[in-house]
Every structure is written in C-alpha cells, then in structure tokens.
Structure 1
Amino acid sequence: MPRLIFFCGHAGTGKTSLAHRLIGPLMQATGEPFCLLDKDTLYGRYSAAAMGAITGDPNDRDSPAYLDNLRDPEYQGLLDTARENLMLGISVIVIGPLSRETRAHQLADPQWLHLPAGTQTQIVWVHLPEDEAHARIIRRGNPNDAYKLAHWEAYRTRRFMPDPAEYPELIFFDNLAPDDDAVNSLLRRLAS
C-alpha cells in the first residue's frame, strides 16, 4: 500500500529541510522506496520563464499575476505526478505550501485527490512563529521571495495556523528548534 506524505506550511518554515532530513530514515524504517516531489524543484524554471513573460519578473512567486495564472496549475501538476507514482506503487513525499488546500481539508479527501485505492495519506503541517519565518526568508536570500518580502503585509493575510481541533487530519510539527526526539517521534508516526 503506497504512502502519500505531504509536508505543508507557509514560506520559511523549513518544510523542504525537514522532508530531506526524514526521507532516508523513512525509507529505512518502512523498507519502501519514496519519490520526493518539491513544487519549487518541479516548477521553478518553468515558473521563472512564465513569470518573466507575464510580468517581466522571473522571480515573482506571489503576485496576483502568479496566483491567478500559475499557482493552481502548478499544484495540479504536482498532484498529478504524485498520483502517477502512487499508481505504480511508489510512495511519495510532496513538499509545498498547499495552504488553500489544507484550509479546505482537501488533502485529507482521497476523492478530491483521486488517489489509488488503499493509499495511506499523512499531512505534516510545519509551522513557526511568523517573525521567525520572516527572518528565515530574509536569511535564505532566495530571489523568489523578493515579491513576498516587499509585500509582506499582503502576504501575511494569507498565513493561518490551523486549529488542531478543526484539523484532526494534520500532524503538527513545530520547526522552531526541534530536537532529535521531536524528529524521531515524527519519523515513527510517519512510518507506522
């Protein structure tokens, strides 16, 4: 039975670093191969070319032009690629904010995802306080964050912290300063 594990959360929370840290131990613990699908890796070059043509800014990943024209097709392609691997019996880790989909509980809906029967789905919500996420985004110096940083007040209105009582499908992971015990606990939960 293949697994689909989402690492979701807002920009700067460390989703990718956490997934990279866990994929090897997860394969070892489960004895299963995993495919890692990071939205930025899959669509980064394409989005740069498209946004360069649309707005003249290849690093734009947060303007209304991006959100209206590329965001949803990128996510649809990401999920299509995940689904194709799952149909082949390969477990998948998906990395991306997926905040709209999380808010709407869509990632916990196998019918919305069109998953093969028997797919085990887990959703890790990686989170940090806003000020720390903002500081990490500044420190990483990724040009794709420039629009977001320049329009932080608008971006922050889209940030939300799901209430665990309303989102029981989520595995919450505080990535502020996780120790080995916290990471190993998450690994055990994902491998079960």
Structure 2
Amino acid sequence: MSRPRSGVRRSEPLHQQVARNIRNDIEAGRLRDGQPLPSTRELASEWNVSPFTINEAMDVLIKEGLITSKPRAGRVVNAPHVTAEARPKPSSPQVLVVGGYAGSGKTELGRIVARETGWPMLDKDTLTRPVVEAALELLGLSPNDRESDMYVNKIRPREYEALISAMTENVQCGNSAIVTAPFVKEFSDPAWAERIQATCAAMGAKVSFAWVFCDADTMHTYVRHRGAARDAQKLANWDDYIAGIDLELRPPAPHVVIDNSASSKPLQDQARSLVSSLLSKDADQQ
C-alpha cells in the first residue's frame, strides 16, 4: 500500500475501483492478514480521491469481510483464508502459462493461483528486470526502454529464454509452475505454443494456457495504479498504444480467458475456478 498511485478513471464508481484493487492486493498476498491499513486521509491521497470515496470503498470491503474496523487499531486486513487453506498437490507437474497486456492483472492472477496451490510463481519481471535494466543502461539506453529495436530484438528474447528455463528446471524437479509474462508475441505464434506443449509433455507435465483480458479503460486504471516507470511511454500516448494492440488476441491453443475488466466477476473467484478446473482435469487423467 506504500507505492504511489495515480487517479482512477470513471469506467465504474470510484469507490468500486478502489475496493477492487485493494481486494486484489489482499487475495494476491500483497496485503496480509492482520495488517493495518493507512488512515482514510492517507488512502485518499494515495488514490487521489476524496475521503468519502475511501470510506465507501472500505464499507464494501468490510461487508465482504476482508477488512475489519477495530477500536484504536483502525482498519485491519481480515484474510486468514489466503494462507490457511490446504494446498492440493497434482499427480504430475502442472504448468500454467498466463499472458496478458500490461496492466491486465496477469501477475495478480498468478499470485492468487500460487497462494491457492503453493506452486512456484515465475514472473518475467521479477526474474529478469534488474538484469535487463542494467543491460539497457550499459548499452546507453534508458532502463525503462521496452520499445527500441535493441530491446525487442536482442534483450527480450533472452528474458523469455530465462523464464522458460526457470519453468523447465522446476518441472524437472517434479514441481508445478505458474509462468506469467505478457506473451503477446508468443501467443501470436502457434509454433511457440506447440513447442511449450511438447517440452512439458516430454517431462511428464501438463500445460494450460490462460489469457487475462481487460478492457481499455480498466487497463488504463491498472497501468496508472502500478506506477511503473516502464509504462510512462504507454501512458503518455495511451490512445495510440491501445490502437496498436489487438484486444482480441488469444493463445493459439486450448485456453481459459480470465476477464479482469471492471464489470467482471472478482479476480479471486475466477482464479479459484481456474484452479478447480486444473485439478479436476488432473484427477480425470489419473
């Protein structure tokens, strides 16, 4: 809750947007059970909304049981279910490949699934960003560059190579894995999906693909909310960015679509349905 946030947009009521993002942070484990929340005034400043809007958002989360209000302690996260549930172990390694555009919520989905299952969470940015930023600086480029030919043709392929290698090593050790990255180029290439399927099959693992969809307005809210420097160019030219991407892109293999738009079902509900589906398929194949 300490990172700066830009103002939310009005694709849904402001308090619902704030509640949705805080709910996702709770379910993804960024906000922990028993953790005190900042004051109303601090949250209002953080989200660039009025204290009234924050109070409305808190009322939503209190009614859902995710927040409690305690005398002298203020508002506190109430989410013992996030860590207390039993974690199922599949009969053979499972690989869940999660893609989506910037700000779609793919990392949040991956984190929720990881907390539900105990499977390792392999996120491209977490694994590679410090090295990528250092490499870009050594090449005389901005560490936030994600548009130049040097990044796209020289550095990006190595990022994904490292990510898939981390997945492969986990599966070779008998572990399942959740792999999150945009995968925009990869999901445009049927041959890439076939190679991943063949690689996993050769190791006795089952692979599933998920695409996190987000409408343009909600995506804009998420991108602004995370405040990442690498998103500055997208935000400065948002209309051009949206015009240049294909919101209808889907993986070129059997897949699940997770709708993380403002009007969709809560992300945690969709994540749990996804986990149930993966484990049901595993049980059917035993």
1:114 lines up with 2:199 in the alignment: yes
2-side partners of 1:109 and 1:140: how far apart? 33
Q: Letter of the aligned partner of 1:73 in structure 2?
A: R
> Structure 1's 107 and 174: CA in aligned 2 closer, same or farther, altered over 3 A?
farther
- Per-residue CA shift, 1:103-155, capped at 9, x if unaligned? 21345424676333321001110010123212321222111212333454257
The residue number in structure 1 matching 2:176 is 91
Aligned length: 184
What SS is found at the alignment partner of 1:5?
strand
What is the rounded CA distance, in whole Å, between the counterparts of 1:103 and 1:81 in structure 2? 22
Larger Rg: 2
Cα distance in 2 between the residues matched to 1:146 and 1:106: 32
Of 104, 126, 144, which residue of structure 2 is paired with 1:13? 104
The gaps in structure 2 that reach 5 residues or longer are 1-91, 281-286
Residue 70 of structure 1 is matched in structure 2 by 155
Q: Considering only aligned residues, what root-mean-square deviation do their CA atoms show, in Å? A: 2.3
AA at the equivalent of 2:184: S
User: Which residue does the alignment assign to 2:254?
Assistant: 169
TM-score (norm 2): 0.58
Please show how residues 83-162 of structure 1 align to structure 2 within 5 Å: 83-106=168-191, 108-110=193-195, 114-115=199-200, 116-152=202-238, 153-154=240-241, 156-162=243-249
1:156 shift after superposition: 4.6
Distance in 2, matches of 1:76 and 1:113, equals: 16
Contact 1:108 1:121 (8 Å CA) reproduced: no
4+ runs of 1 displaced by more than 6 Å? none
